[in-house]
Structure 1
């Protein structure tokens, strides 16, 4: 079905349906959500963004509630969900949207906005309680790095460091989609036969990325 011919309401309905399928680990078609996001952000259509907000707010709230430092804030999840979605909206408007190739990349950036909202709040309220980026050992747990730099440029550099397509796909699953080893094995049974294989490969990739001078420079500039 050509998404360009659908109304905003029609796109929103299909996007909501496909999002539910994705949440249920079923096969889903991202084209409807991507077109809705494009109209909301690249085209600046307020009605489209209203639907985007309604569809993705529950997921954003889950990200907030699952954040390791959310409990330290004393705020409710809605507060940070709203802040993240506002930041996301203004950061992605107009031509900036063209940097993102698909829904996974867009949602990865939205998740980064959640992290940034919580960490910025803690820096403002309790600066001594916040762990500096330099003390975080897992690259996969430092989305603030991506949020404060050009995410597309940084991801391109990571892809350059990982010429093997299987490694790139695994990095995407871990760092952008936040999938667990069990979920990765389920999604890609032809590439990974068990969770241990995923864990070993993940350790190897993280070790390689943490020892890259360019990524270290990016982190030190924050």
Structure 2
């Protein structure tokens, strides 16, 4: 009888207990067997077993909470860590249809995906929360220099409530224009982090370290982008007519 068949014959309670024991061994940096927790994931996603999902939620919620609280964005989001933990589990649940479970060959790949879901829900929340801050941040692109500010003409600090809808629409248009001016994935990551999420270069690097050699590259990418925006006559005309 194969190892998979043996696991499939285990009762739910036995499987959940073994998953707990092996997880504790893993976090204690001892030898452990990941098959039991993986089998719980299989039953949850392939068979829609709610009890298996509840056991996994109970087993891994502390791990997800640790990812949330260590995330570079967490301190500025203004939400409890448990909110993002629950959103991460929901995103994972929605993101793995039964037919796609085979794409995750082991427990490590499943936990890596859960960590990606945690990052994604926090970035999405930050983008939603900070979208309006794009405008205030944009007025600072010159860092006090006496040169043309390509964003200042669309700023309205005394905006009235009846103009809020139009303001939000203009935000979306401006963000799309900024995206269109990006020449690379690196520029897109930096522009989104700087303008939308209000992150410092160090924070952008912490989140996207796989794309940049160091923090200085993040700063150079930002500075080069802003310099190109200032020279772009079409973008300047767009802002003047906004």
TM range (shorter): 0.5 to 0.7
- Tell me which residue corresponds to 2:63: 59
Segments of 5+ residues of structure 1 without an aligned counterpart are 146-202, 204-222
Cross-structure match for 1:40: 44
CA change 1:22–1:52 in 2 (3 A) is same
Query: Partners of 1:19 and 1:132 in 2: how far apart?
Result: 40
Which residue of structure 1 lines up, in the alignment, with residue 76 of structure 2? 72
5 Å-filtered alignment, 1:158-169, equals none
Show the 5 A alignment for 1:1-222.
2-127=6-131, 128=134, 134-135=189-190, 136=204, 141=209
The structure-2 alpha-carbon separation of the partners of 1:132 and 1:44, relative to structure 1 and needing over 3 Å to count, comes to farther
Q: What CA distance in whole angstroms lies between the structure 1 residues aligned with 2:209 and 2:57?
A: 25
Measured in 2, the distance between the counterparts of 1:93 and 1:30 equals: 22
Question: Shift of residue 120 of structure 1?
Answer: 0.3
Q: 1:78 to 1:18 in 2, by over 3 A?
A: same
- Number of residue pairs the alignment of both structures matches: 143
The Cα shift of 1:93 comes to 2.9
When normalised by structure 2's length, the TM-score is: 0.55
Cα deviation for residue 137 of structure 1 reads 5.1
Structure 2's unaligned 5+ residue stretches are 138-185, 191-203, 214-242
Partners of 1:42 and 1:92 within 8 A in 2: no
Deviations 1:84-114 (A, max 9, x none): 0011111113111110110000000000010
What is the rounded CA distance, in whole Å, between the counterparts of 1:81 and 1:52 in structure 2?
Answer: 13
* Gap change, CA 1:138 and 1:83, over 3 Å in 2: closer
Partner of 1:104, secondary structure, is helix
Q: Which residue number in structure 2 is paired with residue 171 of structure 1?
A: none
In structure 2, relative to structure 1, the CA distance for the partners of 1:112 and 1:15 (3 Å cut) is same
CA RMSD of aligned residues (A): 2.4
Measure, in 2, the Cα distance between the counterparts of 1:117 and 1:139: 13
If the length of structure 1 is used for normalisation, what is the TM-score?
0.59
Between 1:131-140 and 1:67-76, the stretch displaced more is: 131-140
SS in 2 for 1:60: helix
Shift of residue 3, structure 1, vs aligned partner: 1.0
1:140 deviates by 6.2
